[in-house]
Amino acid sequence: MSTRPSPAAPATLAPAAPDDLARGCSAALGSGAVHEDLTGAASHGLAGALGAAAPEDDPSAAPPPPRRRRGLGVLLGCATALLGSLYFLLVGAALGPFLLWPRTRPDALRILMTGARRLTALERIRRSVFFGDRFPEHYKASDQKILRYLAVRCYTGLLCAVVIGLLGFGAVLAGLLVTGAARGSLGWDELLTQVLLGSVLLFLDVQGLYSLAALDTRTARECFGPSERELLQQRIDELAASRAAVVQAVDVERRRIERDLHDGVQQRLVALAMLLGRARRSRDPERADALLLQAHEESQGVLTELREVAWRVYPSALDSLGLREALGGVAERCSIPLRIAFEVGAPLPQPVETAAYFVVSEAVTNAAKHSSATAIEVRVALTGARLAVRVEDNGKGGANPAGSGLAGLRGRVAALDGVLHIDSPLGGPTTISAELPCA
């Protein structure tokens, strides 16, 4: 911990261009194993196939449901597939003429979709209860996506029922084969042939169950949540928005730098030139010395202000000494007491250090200029693969998240796939926190 007050002004935002990222989505298919016991292979193969249908959750998610529950879910899926097939066969046939006539097509389609949405809701409940799938509540699938899902669901469900029936039939034949071998009515050559043929058919049935379970999982995710194409389009939109925000922030920062140079450094250089001119034209040695002394003091002020402008553009200490020392420079230039807690035990990527620095710099700048705060606390901590930055002041609050400084800061953080939170109720305190991924 360190507390460093200073009379100088703090640094401000200087945006930088982001690195574009592209991420795709992928679905994984499981693989099964065949047991030697022909009588128990059918039930174990069904339970193993259910493992391929488990949703892809993060490591912190709940474990998948038991195999028995997933087995019931598969059997129930065969029943709902039969129900969906009967619905499309009967209702579709009844509404077929009305769907072909343009004037009655909207009403007929609305009736058809009412039942289709109920069937889809039933499938969603089945996936949630028996397979533990979690789907976004706010997502609403289109009519085309619902009809496509039900069509695939009916096909996979009925085919799964056929495969399960074949497994049951194979189990009965395996029992008869074992009984015949025990009674000695089968020769070893015939027994070996039947075992090899049964093992191949069992392997094909189990692999069929795995494939059908994986297809059922994939189609459910695409219907009850955004598809891979939608996720990719959403990612493209986010990148385009973050790039536009950063470009706008860069333009604002360039105007601010030009204004600082024009209204500050340039005006003081003009005053310095006038002082030197008056000193050169003066015939009074004492007055000339006084003007030169004033010009010397003015040149020192110009150098100080020029260093401040350069620091606000980009602090050189960030590259040479690291984030901790750069934040120490912010504390030295802050006009109110600033307390910094730096809890980072590993090196950080350079873009993350830059973003974290300007989060602190902009937040401290706003607090010093507008909040009437008497103390500011900064905490920078690395937790796993994410850097958390938190700046809190005891001022009057009411910070505008849409302001140019905070908006540019949000764009800088978003460009690194980070998240910026601003909590500034009237009366305070104001808390600005950012989470930046370091991987």
Length of the chain: 439
Give the residue, 116 or 6, on which the prediction is more confident: 116
Instruction: Using DSSP bridges, classify how beta strands 338-343 and 376-383 pair: parallel, antiparallel or unpaired.
Output: parallel
Is residue 31 over pLDDT 60?
no
Give the residue, 430 or 55, on which the prediction is more confident: 430
Whether the ω angle into residue 429 lies within 30 degrees of 0, i.e. cis, is yes
Residue 415's nearest CA partner among 237, 232, 234, 246 is: 246
Predicted pLDDT at 388? 92
Predicted pLDDT at 368? 83
Provide the percentage of residues in the chain whose pLDDT is more than 70: 81
Q: Give Cα 155 to chain centroid, integer Å.
A: 34
What would the pLDDT profile of 279-298 be if each residue is shown by its tens digit? 888 888 888 888 888 888 88
Is residue 55 over pLDDT 50?
no
Q: Which helix (H) or strand (E) holds 45?
A: helix 38-51
Q: Which CATH class is domain 315-439?
A: alpha beta
Segments making up each domain of the chain, as ranges = 38-225, 315-439
Q: Which residue's structure tokens are 């310095």?
A: 272
What would the pLDDT profile of 206-265 be if each residue is shown by its tens digit? 888 888 888 888 888 888 877 677 778 877 887 777 777 667 767 767 777 777 777 777
Residue 387 — pLDDT band, cuts 50, 70, 90? very high
State the average pLDDT over residues 307-329: 75
State the average pLDDT over residues 386-393: 91
Let me know: does 195 contact 254? Beta carbons within 8 Å: no
What would the pLDDT profile of 320-339 be if each residue is shown by its tens digit? 788 888 888 888 888 888 88
Is residue 11 over pLDDT 70?
no
Residue 177's nearest CA partner among 167, 164, 190 is: 190
Predicted pLDDT at 395? 85
DSSP letter, residue 64: P
Is residue 59 over pLDDT 50?
no
Predicted pLDDT at 310? 64
Predicted pLDDT at 389? 92
Give the residue, 18 or 145, on which the prediction is more confident: 145
State the average pLDDT over residues 174-201: 80
Is residue 198 over pLDDT 50?
yes
Q: pTM for this one?
A: 0.47
Residues near 404 by beta carbon (within 8 Å), at least 6 away in sequence: 249, 252
Predicted pLDDT at 63? 63
What would the pLDDT profile of 364-381 be if each residue is shown by its tens digit? 888 888 888 888 999 999
Is residue 272 over pLDDT 60?
yes
SS3 at position 389: strand
Residues near 352 by beta carbon (within 8 Å), at least 6 away in sequence: 387, 416, 436, 437, 438
CA distance 49 to 29: 10
The per-residue pLDDT of the chain, averaged, comes to: 77
